Amino acid sequence: MKNLKPAAACVGTLLTASLVVATGCSSSNTTATTATNTPTTEQTTTTIAEPQPPVAKKVPKELTQHGHTRIDNYYWLNQREDPEVIAYLNAENAYTKQMLAHTEDLQKKLYNEIVGRIKQNDESVPFKDDGYWYYTRYEAGKEYPIYARKKGTLDAPEEIMVNANERAEGLSYYAAAGMNVSPNNQLLAFGEDTVSRRKYTIRFKDLKTGKFLPDQIPNTTGAAVWANDNKTVYYTMKDPALRSYKIFKHTLGTPSSQDKEVYHEADETFSTYVYKTKSDKYIIIGSGSTLSNEYRYLDADNPNGTFKVIQPRERGLEYSIDHFGDKFYIVTNKDGATNFKLMQTPVSKSGKANWKDVIPHRADVLLEGIEIFKDYLALQERKNGLTQIRVMKWNDPKTDYYIDFGEEAYTAYISVNPDFDSKELRYEYSSLTTPNSTYDYNMQTREKELLKRQEVVGDFDPARYESRRIYATADDGTKIPISLVYRKGLERNGNNPTLLYAYGSYGNSMNPGFSSVRLSLLDRGFVYAIAHIRGGQEMGRQWYEDGKMLKKKNTFTDFIDASEYLIEQKYTNLDKLFAQGGSAGGLLMGAVVNMRPELYKGVIAAVPFVDVVTTMLDTSIPLTTGEFDEWGNPAEKQYYDYMLSYSPYDNVEAKAYPNMLVTTGLHDSQVQYWEPAKWVAKLRDMKTDNNMLLLHTNMEAGHGGASGRFERYKETALQYAFLLNLVNQNQ
């Protein structure tokens, strides 16, 4: 056994043949107090035990690429079924619980606060589709949603399609997805995941009788798309690495083993999916990678027909399609349209040679998507970091206009709009101080109706809070937007606890939206900040391009520059600045604590992607092959070297690190649990400080954490207690 700390004196030490996990005390961290040099029976030595962190064994594993060898001492942790691995994760959980035991009352208080703001009996705004009103509702005390509908009017009797509370009985995890009703409104197809690996089994239910059909289709994405014959569905199968790689056709009443494969995406850098156009005219099979797309279409009235390619894939050509009339409408970057443009082409002549501009490319406006109606076209755009919704009429496109939202900083997006003939556009709106709001906007009269605003139960008043948008300056002169929210009256005296959050990958924009959960920090004096760093798409497509591949380090330095600016502007100081990120944002956390650990009092890294090089070299791991155009392919030396220069796990050093809370899920399908587990083990071995390093593994969940409406907030309460404890707020 190597690197094992003495633990013989500790009660509660777990011993295995190759692992020592000390869970009770530390023989090197005890104190003895005596009243005299010779204790009497009344004057005895008192030992104060302190928790000792688990120590993972070292099993050196040589990993060689391009003539360069790395030694991974914790590679063995990638065996999910190994009892030693489970023992180690459980020991880490026990250690975390011990280290935060004094915050348990605070955790309970935070949890009760958070769930107390949630309306127990709640319901989504119904949307109309083919004569039915569909909605989701929750019942008091229940963890899961009820999916329901009403025929004709909202006064009609309720039809419960799926009660997820009943489906989840006896399960530690449950998720339903892909609710899709047949064209005749009689059958429901949906997916169920009971493990949290995002591998769904598709089930079918007769909505007239309430009985489930015997058909079951395992190992899918959960979505089934109906042909217009009400008996044929198309679905997407996953391979062992969880890549969506095949489209099958299933006929109700037949075994899934007899389903016909209609498309196989053989390129491992692509994933495939299937959907139906809003017009209900075509079934569409899409294939996509980071830099390229390809689509096929089939008349939904002819499920036995053959799919036809719209435009063959070309590296660097991105496009998406929808249908209206006799044309396909295409959002694309064709001809150097970095921020994308809208084009159209006849269905009968769909190749790119026939594409014609509808909305030309604009250097200052990113076209994010479209929503097609019979008489109107709505476009979701982004300018100066904010979303905009633009409306135009098909027969008079020059009379276009933008919806006025009335605030300077906000987030807005087009919502569910299945009714092709409607003149009303449904959209969602929120800001850092305004709860999520659902509107119907009449595109003809330009009047809007607020249908619902998220109710925050209790003593909530948005007027108590203030939001701002400020800009840090990067080393290269780039202005980095930062969105802030805090209680009004906050003094910029450099002494406010501040939590800075960011993501910065895949072109995902972090919009300044509302969170009732966040109020538990704001009401205790925290500033909450979002750094809109490169790697997202807030400032246009180039913002994304400048934060990936061989420019990835811009993401990290942008976050550091934002951190320094918050201190410079006297929002906070080095002893009260905290950082948080998850998944690829967890990679961000790992990189910045290696680069500038002294900037942060504490860091929360949720499901962090930290073992970049090893993961990107292993094509059997989910998501690897499809992300070579995001991070680079380390099989090529220039990408290997660049990746190696920032990979958090590979760059852990013998130095002081901030207090850290790392979370993961045993069944995570996106970032495998062993990445954060290995990272923590290596940090624990090498760091030179006495700051907290905690690993919390949800042993029953995956990337999204616990299932259920309320259960997930126990982990949030743990994270908030971790932060508040570090600023000595345990109330």
In whole angstroms, what is the distance from residue 347 CA to residue 324 CA?
10
Give catalytic status of residue 361 as yes or no: no
φ/ψ (deg, to 5) at 371:
-135, 120
* 536: DSSP letter: B
Q: Considering only CA atoms, which of 83, 86, 97, 94 is closest in space to residue 54?
A: 94
In whole angstroms, what is the distance from residue 17 CA to residue 656 CA?
31
Give catalytic status of residue 703 as yes or no: yes
Written as one letter, the residue type at 68 is H
Selecting among 668, 669, 696, 707, the annotated active-site residue is: 668
Q: Considering only CA atoms, which of 650, 705, 651 is closest in space to residue 673?
A: 705
Q: How far is CA 362 from CA 306, 375, 379, 492, in A?
A: 37, 25, 14, 39
Q: What is the 3-state secondary structure (H, E, C) of 652-721?
A: CCCCCCCEEEEEEECCCCCCCCHHHHHHHHHHHHHCCCCCCEEEEEECCCECCECCCCCCCHHHHHHHHH
Q: To which residue do tokens 């590679």 refer?
A: 75
In whole angstroms, what is the distance from residue 347 CA to residue 343 CA?
13
In whole angstroms, what is the distance from residue 92 CA to residue 96 CA?
6
In whole angstroms, what is the distance from residue 632 CA to residue 274 CA?
27
**Residue 2 corresponds to which tokens in the numbers above?**
């190597």
For every residue of 329-381, DSSP letters joined together read EEEE-GGG-TT-EEEEEEGGG-SGGG-EEEE--BTTBEEEEEEE-SSEEEEEE
Residues in contact with 515: Cβ distance below 8 Å, sequence separation at least 6, in sequence order = none
**Residue 80 corresponds to which tokens in the numbers above?**
């999910």
* 594: DSSP letter: H
In whole angstroms, what is the distance from residue 422 CA to residue 396 CA?
17
Indicate the pairing of strand 602-606 with strand 465-473: unpaired
Q: Considering only CA atoms, which of 128, 111, 38, 24 is closest in space to residue 417?
A: 128
Indicate the pairing of strand 465-473 with strand 448-453: unpaired
Q: What are the respective helix, strand and coil percentages of the chain, to the nearest 5?
A: 20, 35, 45
Give catalytic status of residue 696 as yes or no: no
Q: To which residue do tokens 């951190």 refer?
A: 563
Selecting among 532, 667, 696, 703, the annotated active-site residue is: 703
Contact 309, 295 (CB under 8 A): yes
φ/ψ (deg, to 5) at 620:
-85, -15
Written as one letter, the residue type at 495 is N
Selecting among 516, 583, 647, 669, the annotated active-site residue is: 583
φ/ψ (deg, to 5) at 106:
-65, -40
Q: Which residues are catalytic?
A: 583, 668, 703
